[in-house]
Amino acid sequence: MELLRFATAGSVDDGKSTLIGRLLFDSKAIFEDQMEAVEQASLRRGEVTNLALLVDGLRAEREQGITIDVAYRYFATPARSFVIADTPGHVQYTRNMVTGASTADLALILIDARKGIVEQSRRHAFLASLLRVPHLVVCVNKMDLVGYDQDVFNAIVEEFRAFAIRLEVSDLSFVPVSALVGDNVVHRSAAMPWYEGSSLLHHLETVHIASDRNLIDVRFPVQYVIRPHRAEHHDYRGYAGQVAGGVLKAGDEVVVLPSGWPSTVAAIETFDGPVAEAFAPMSVTVRLADDLDVGRGDLICRPHNRPHVGQDIEAMVCWMADGALKVGGRYAVHHTTRTARAVVKDLIYRLDVNTLHRDESATDLGLNEIGRVRLRTTVPLFYDEYRRNRTMGSFILVDEATHATVAAGMMLDPSHGG
Amino acid sequence: MTDTRTKPPPPGAYQLTQLRALESEAVHIFREVAATFEHPVLLFSGGKDSVVMLHVARKAFWPAPLPFAVMHIDTGHNFPEVIEFRDRTVEELGVRLVVASVQASIDAGRVAERPGVSRNRLQTTTLLDAIAEHRFDAVFGGARRDEEKARAKERVFSFRDEFGQWDPKNQRPELWSLYNGRHQPGEHIRVFPLSNWTELDIWRYVAGEEIDLPPLYYAHRRQVVRRDNMLMSLCEWIQPAEGEEVLEALVRYRTVGDATCTAAVESAATTADAVIVEVAATRITERGATRADDRFSEAAMEDRKKEGYF
Ligand SMILES: Nc1nc2c(ncn2[C@@H]2O[C@H](COP(=O)(O)OP(=O)(O)OP(=O)(O)O)[C@@H](O)[C@H]2O)c(=O)[nH]1
Ligand SMILES: [Mg+2]
């Protein structure tokens, strides 16, 4: 069965968690004891049954009535199975939204019909496009509070389209909903006869999810070397890893980076036996015909289709720490299975998420800000542009003193220039 | 020059089944830990999640043996068939088993047992003491996000401070499949390779891989009492209270933990395939149906986890 991963997004209190609760409840994906617990928790708070509590599971979230961190939920209908990441809208927790959206195929952007598009709606829409979430569904929520007025919906659609034109969004749709009442969530609503589209669930079940996996460029980052040291496997040496791109076949001519030594794939092995070919996201063990010095952080690819190799990296970064990113700052960088140190050579611009204006005079990136940077790494990285391959083009920066994850990076093609 | 294989394959080609994708993700996580930590350990209770976890771990390193030990936090209140299963499994796989005993923690005065209260919460001290004693820096747990609302919030690599505490309000961002396992000496990382599996995935995998589980996961006859609307099995620690009627029921276990706080469910399912049918139709979560310990407070699991529980 086809799997769709989606994440919610949008400003605080726009109704994301309520929408997910409603979606699960109306599609009968809630267990009786979960529902009972939510009813009791709502009662204790003197509220009517609050469906957001189905996902807002932390004590602090319930006390404050907001989402703090991503909740993952799993459910299936006869048509599809879904992994939901319900993310927080509060600006302070933007990094948790980024966590949830980084693996999503689709983002649901909620907008409160009364408030319209606010800065955080734009920031999240922009982040979704930066992370290359291929589908955006804008849910104009709380339609019950604007008398289900078509004009309110249309005005928001128009304004959002104007903004989205400047984002890279391949598929954009709009649904007027009330998460609280359930209009157009699982069932089409009688309150909005003017809306001719499908319910949100129907859309999620039928949206065509073109796979964003790269099946062309063979990329195998070596993760771990398997050496059994046992009599029956005395000379065994296997390179374990997860295929990051392309289709690797037994018998393929390959090269190993950084050495550039050529070899041939002698076998692709798994516990369940050898396989003729491997593709993302398969975890396999590759054996080469030649005895080479290969270790974690090396990359196996085809001789005539190699990734970029370089120490000068240009990337879009989303900054996720309280202390600002500054030119000259030094961090650890984790990229595929390779770890290096990096220094920020240049902040090329900082982006204003409201206007998408590029501020080239910026000297730092504060918490939750997005910008384009140039890094210099201690060793070469083997990478592809993020838009070509999410795995090969993404990295995180880690503060070497606090060990906090401070930035998410999406790599750019060096030939595109600054 | 370009690669000769530049044509994209037809749509639908090169798709993994959902179970293979989950397995592959878990294998990746195991290898990541083995490559970047000094002293990992895998928590093994003989429960279905830990059995599946161990099975996937073996696959990750084959044909080499597991590069880490397994550890059982033993409350002393065990189902005998689970202990027998545990010992047979580690023997067959040739892995090293560390047993950390709650009874020993009680005897040493590290924790105090309260009459009538299960030893579930006491396990935390035993677990954290064992982690410190053996200097484990990565601890694999079989927890799944679909189990419980606090677990639904937890990262795959979950940072624990020097007191073993989880801070749910301040978790590290975790993007794509890039994990950050950095920590200071004395701190550690809990790693959950089965985060994205559901109860149904576990059973489908058990059926597909023909994984052996302790017999109490399948329907059998047993003497039970109905207590707090749950079926508790009679044993050394559970005796019928006044007015409680002893029933002979056909039951199985959906989860296996401490015998004093894990309940059975009525079932006629004697095979994994039959269990799948039941699990697909059930209207109650596995913890809701079987765990006495999680019923007393809205945030019981979160509070235990903050202290360092599994
Ligand atoms: N009237 C009305 N109220 C709604 C609707 N959807 C959500 N709400 C209310 O809006 C408030 C916020 O809802 P949440 O679902 O917690 O909002 P959220 O977007 O998840 O908030 P964060 O996660 O903190 O960003 C709650 O009081 C909801 O009951 C709706 O469709 N109509
Ligand atoms: Mg929310």
Nearest by CB to B145, from A68, A72, A241: name it: A72
For A328-368, write each residue's pLDDT tens digit. 999 999 999 999 999 999 999 999 988 899 999 999 999 99
Average pLDDT over residues B291-308: 78
Q: Quick one: A23 exposed, middle or buried, by C-beta within 10 A (0-12, 13-18, 19+)?
A: buried
Positive/negative CA dihedral, B286, B288, B289, B292:
positive
Mean pLDDT of chain A: 95
Which ligand 1 atom lies nearest to the CA of residue A87? 23
Residue A313 dihedral angles phi and psi, to the nearest 5°: -115, 130
pLDDT of residue B93: 93
From the CA of B37, how many Å to the nearest CA of chain A?
12
Tokens of A188: 């089409």
pLDDT of residue A365: 97
B214: three-class secondary structure by DSSP: coil
Q: Which amino acid is at A17?
A: S
Q: Which amino acid is at A95?
A: R
Average pLDDT over residues B222-247: 84
For A9-23, write each residue's pLDDT tens digit. 999 999 999 999 999
Of the pLDDT bands very low, low, confident and very high (cuts 50, 70, 90), residue B127 is very high
| Higher pLDDT, residue B242 or A85 | A85
From the CA of B103, how many Å to the nearest CA of chain A?
31
From the CA of A151, how many Å to the nearest CA of chain B?
38
The side-by-side arrangement of strands in the sheet containing A106-112 is A71-76, A81-86, A3-10, A106-112, A135-141, A171-176
First CA to last CA across chain B, in angstroms? 53
Positive/negative CA dihedral, A295, A298, A304, A309:
negative
The CA distance from A19 to A23, in Å, is 6
B61 Cβ under 8 Å from any chain A Cβ: yes
Which ligand 1 atom lies nearest to the CA of residue A61? 24
B280 Cβ under 8 Å from any chain A Cβ: no
pLDDT of residue B186: 95
CB B47 within 8 A of CB B310: no
CB B221 within 8 A of CB B248: yes
pTM for the model:
0.95
With 90 as the cut, is the pLDDT of residue A416 above it? no
Of the pLDDT bands very low, low, confident and very high (cuts 50, 70, 90), residue A6 is very high
The CA distance from B76 to B56, in Å, is 27
B156 Cβ under 8 Å from any chain A Cβ: no
Among A261, A247, A250, residue whose Cα is nearest residue A299? A261
The CA distance from B243 to A350, in Å, is 72
pLDDT of residue B122: 85
Average pLDDT over residues A178-192: 96
Of the pLDDT bands very low, low, confident and very high (cuts 50, 70, 90), residue B294 is low
Tokens of A13: 């209190």
Of the pLDDT bands very low, low, confident and very high (cuts 50, 70, 90), residue A418 is very low
B28 Cβ under 8 Å from any chain A Cβ: yes
> Degrees (nearest 5) of the Cα angle B86, B92, B97?
50
Task: Pick the residue from chain B with its C-alpha nearest to A96.
Answer: B173
Which ligand 1 atom lies nearest to the CA of residue A89? 25
For A145-175, write each residue's pLDDT tens digit. 999 999 999 999 999 999 999 998 889 999 9
Nearest by CB to B284, from A32, A83, A335: name it: A32
Return the number of CB contacts < 8 Å for A and B: 193
For A120-153, write each residue's pLDDT tens digit. 999 999 999 999 998 999 999 999 999 999 999 9
Any residues with Cβ below 6 Å from ligand 1, and which?
A: A 12-18, 52, 66-67, 88-90, 110, 141-142, 144-145, 178-180
Chain B residues within 8 A of A296 when measuring between CB atoms: 35
Supply the Cα-derived Rg of chain B in whole angstroms. Answer: 20
B306 Cβ under 8 Å from any chain A Cβ: no
> B141 CB contacts (<8 Å, ≥6 apart)?
B43, B190, B191, B192, B310
Tell me which residue has its CA closest to atom 13 in ligand 1. A15
With 60 as the cut, is the pLDDT of residue B4 above it? no
Q: Which amino acid is at B167?
A: D
